Structures are given as C-alpha cells and as structure tokens.
Amino acid sequence: MMRAAALAARLLPLLGRFGRDEAGGILVLFAVAMGTIFGFMALVWDIGRTMSLATDLQSFADHVALAAAAELDGQPGARARATAMVSDLLEDRQSFAAGERTLTGADVETPLSFFRSLPAADRDPLTDAALGDGDASYLQVVIRPRTVTNLFAGLVNALTGSTIADPVVSAQAVAGRARFACGITPVMFCAPSGGGYEVQPGRMLRLATQGSWQEGELGLLDQNFTEATPCGAGGALNPSADFYRCALAIRTPVTRCFAQGGVTIDSARRAGAVAAGFNSRFDIYLANLAARVNDQAFAPAPNVIKGIGPSGAGPCIDNLATARRFSDLPFPETSIAPLRDPCFGLGSCQVAGTAGNGANNLLQAIYWFINHGFRPRPAADSRFDLYQAELAAPPTPARLLEAPRPETGRPICFANGAGTPAGPDRRLITAAAVDCTSLPLNGELAEVPVMKFVQLFMTEPAEQAGDVTTLWLEEVAEVTPDTDSLEEGQVHDVVQLYR
C-alpha cells in the first residue's frame, strides 16, 4: 500500500504536467490544415480544368455550327454539304479531358439535326424539324462527352471509400443562316408554279392585285415603322395609302431589311397606291405624288417609253383611265411599249394568265421597227436589254424616239422636263416571291417565308381598273449576295449563333 501510494504521489504530478504541456500540438493542427488546403487546391484545380474543357468544347461546337450553317442556302444538297463541312474540314484541340487531345468531326454527334424555325424561348426544346434542304434554316451541333480525371474525387474516394464519378463534359450549339434583302421595293408576289418557281430571264410576268392569294397576286410588304421617314411618320403596321405611294416611288428606299425567313404582308390590296407609286418611274405623277414633280428624290427613269399619253392638250398623264394608246395612230406616227407575250391573249402561257413563255426575239424586232424604224437594231434578246440599248445610242440627247412619233421617250413632266432623271435602275424592282399555293395566306400574313428575291423590269406603266392594278414585268435575275445588281437594294446572307 505504501509503495502504491508513493508511486501515485510521484505519477500524479507528471500526468498533470503532461496534460498542461502544449508542445507538439501545432503538428496536429498543421496536419489538419494542410489536408484541408491541399484538398481545396485539388478541388479548385479540378474545377478549373473542367471549366477549361467546357470552354474548349463550347468553342469547338460554336465553330462547327457556324461553319456548317453557312452551307444552309436552301438549295439541293445543303444538309449534305453542312455534314461534310463538319466531318472533313474542321479541327480543334482540348487540353484536359482523357483521350485524344485533337477535336475533329468524329467528336460531333451525327447525324446533325436540322430545323425550320426556333422556339421563342431559348430554353424551349427544338421541335420544328426541317423537311428538306429548302427549309433547313437552322442546325444543332452536339459534341460527344469527354471525361476529366478528377484529383479531388480520387482523394475523397481513397480516404472515405466513396465512389464519386469523374465529371463528364459536353457542349452544343445552334446556328442558322438567314438571308436579308435591304433597300428593296416593299412588294411581294405569289410565285407562278408555286414551290417550283424558277426565275427565267426574259420571261414576262403579269402580276395584279386581284383579290385572292393565288399565283400572280401582287401585294405589299409591311413593317412596323417606329421613326419618321421621308414618306411620313411611322408607328404601326398597315400604314396609309399615301405612305405606300411614296415608298414605292421614292428613289432611296425607306424600308428596312426584310428577312427571307419571314415577312409581313400588308393586309390591304391598295390598288391605287400601287399604280401611282410605280408609275412615277414613268414620269406619271398621280394622287399625292403630283406634289413631287419637282423633287429629285422622285425622279423618273431616263427612258420612259410607254406607248400612252394624255387625252387632253397637256403633256402629262393625270388620269390612267382616260390615257390614250398611241398604237391607235398610223405608222410612223405611233409608238408602243415593249410587247407582251402573245400567249397572254391566246391562253397558252406557261402558267395561265401569270407567266409567259420566255424571251422572244421576234417581239423585240417588232418593237424596234415600230419605235425606231430602220435604225440598226442592237443585239438584244430581252426587253431590258433593248431598254438599255435605247439609252446607249439615242438619235439625239433630247429624244430616244425620232419624230413624228408622239413621245420622245424622255421625261417631260418631272420638273417640267428640266429635271435630272434617275438611273436606268428606276424601272427595276426587287420583289419577294412567295409560295402562296401551299401557305394559308388568307388567314395569316405575318412571318411568311420568302422563296427568293427577284429582280423585275417594268415594261410599261401600271394599269388600274377599279380595285385591280396590273403590272407587266420581265424577269431579270434572282437576287443573291453574288448578283451584280443595278438596283440599290442588296441581299445579304448572315450566319449567326442562336444558342
């Protein structure tokens, strides 16, 4: 007992001292702190590598989508060309995922997905799948997933026996190609042959505000103008008839760009506005445009041969209904506008009442002889070619047609004949061709897709009979970004990312 008591008396102070001794305690705290710091560093490293991989893959997806979308021109083979662009030409690199560092077309999920339109909200799924090359306006690119070896997850798994998976990263992008026509005449027409319409240079078209959205129907393109224009203040769709007269007549267009993917068509026919607006190009100023005869912004074409004249003693036509045709006069005291395709009178046109049978050299020969007699006829196959040839070699500066013909062919009403006419393009218009045969235009006139933009030559002044205005035009060319156009309007292709 004495020994035990003595031993206890000696140990108790030692135990107390040991309990109070702090030497070496920092080692435990240091070990815990370093473990936390290294774990946090591993986590930050892993997050950085994962985010860097995501950036690499997203950049690759964006580049692939833009390059592929550039091929979506609506022509046959567009989708195949877009797919070939992905598989054959594109290459990039990534730094942190397991496996091959190079990114190629093999890393893109195939087949690509093509769409006609995009939902209003970016978060909504893409559902409007394209039916063919013609309506494939957008595509989605999905990059195959890549795995990042995660140091933090490995450390946690080793210490705790957990099974935290390494992060898997992918990317996707949506791009599209859109065509815009800027600075064009705000007019559309229902294409002859519907979805099968192809431009045939030299062929005549008859377009009219005939009251139903059928082949050959003529309409106006609408825009929500929120600012003042030379034609008046905007602010709403369906502006006034006076606004449209001005917009069709003015040399510098007041309209903004129209998207081929969808335009808004004016709900009214506006026959009078169409006739007055277009006829100012022929030195005929009607309705509110009569006040513009001294305004250089409304100058007519330099060649206004039209085959009609005023019924009274004055030199200017102020009423289409009473204008007289010079073809009733005896040769050579006569003049005519470019001749219409005979098939319109015979009922034998390619598209009944709407599209003629193509260029006709005999018609040009007759036109030239009646208007120019035995002057040498230039080699010109189309009406537009002859129009330009007349400007290139007039008999005198003041006349395109020699006396005793009843019109000079030069403007005489604009600025009392002393004004400077516009360029040859004043009788050219660029119009939007719409497939009205397969679209329900009677119920919906917004977001109407345009098949193509077409350059047309006005062969004679617009006719108006009641609520129907008729335009006679010759097809010149489809207007694309590559078209060498005389008209001021331009067509642009824009490729952009949407998601």
Indicate the pTM of the whole model. Answer: 0.76
Query: Are 192 and 135 found together in one domain?
Result: no
Domain boundary among 126, 146, 179: 179
> pLDDT of the chain along its 499 residues, tens only?
455 566 556 655 655 665 565 555 565 554 555 555 545 555 555 666 667 777 777 777 788 888 888 888 777 788 888 888 777 656 555 555 555 566 666 777 778 788 877 787 777 888 888 887 777 888 888 887 877 666 555 555 555 545 566 677 778 788 887 888 888 888 999 999 887 889 999 999 999 988 788 888 999 988 766 666 777 755 556 677 888 888 899 988 887 788 888 888 887 778 888 899 999 999 999 888 888 889 898 999 999 999 999 887 788 888 888 888 888 888 888 999 999 999 988 888 888 889 988 877 888 899 999 999 988 888 888 999 999 999 998 888 899 999 999 999 999 999 888 888 888 889 999 999 999 888 777 766 888 888 889 999 999 999 988 888 999 999 999 988 776 655 556 787 778 788 7
Query: Are 121 and 209 found together in one domain?
Result: no
Tell how strand 187-190 and strand 428-434 pair up: parallel
Query: Are 226 and 149 found together in one domain?
Result: no
CA end-to-end distance (rounded Å), the chain: 88
In a domain, 8, yes or no: no
Query: Are 238 and 166 found together in one domain?
Result: no
Please give the Cα distance from 338 to 474 (Å, whole number).
10
Domain interval for residue 255? 183-494
Query: Are 440 and 371 found together in one domain?
Result: yes
Contact 181, 257 (CB under 8 A): yes
Query: Are 282 and 405 found together in one domain?
Result: yes
Query: Are 134 and 87 found together in one domain?
Result: yes
Query: Are 218 and 343 found together in one domain?
Result: yes
Query: Are 242 and 391 found together in one domain?
Result: yes
- 94 Cβ contact list (under 8 Å, min separation 6): 53, 56, 57, 60, 101, 103, 146
Domain boundary among 116, 147, 179: 179
Q: How many domains does one find in the chain?
A: 2
36 three-state secondary structure: helix
Residue where the block lists tokens 């006076």:
242
Please spell the DSSP secondary structure of 156-206, one letter per residue: HHHHH---PPPPEEEEEEEEEEEEEEES--SEEEEPTTGGG----TT-EEE
Domain boundary among 127, 154, 179: 179
Query: Are 320 and 350 found together in one domain?
Result: yes
Please give the Cα distance from 435 to 441 (Å, whole number).
10
pLDDT at 237: 62
Query: Are 292 and 426 found together in one domain?
Result: yes
In a domain, 14, yes or no: no
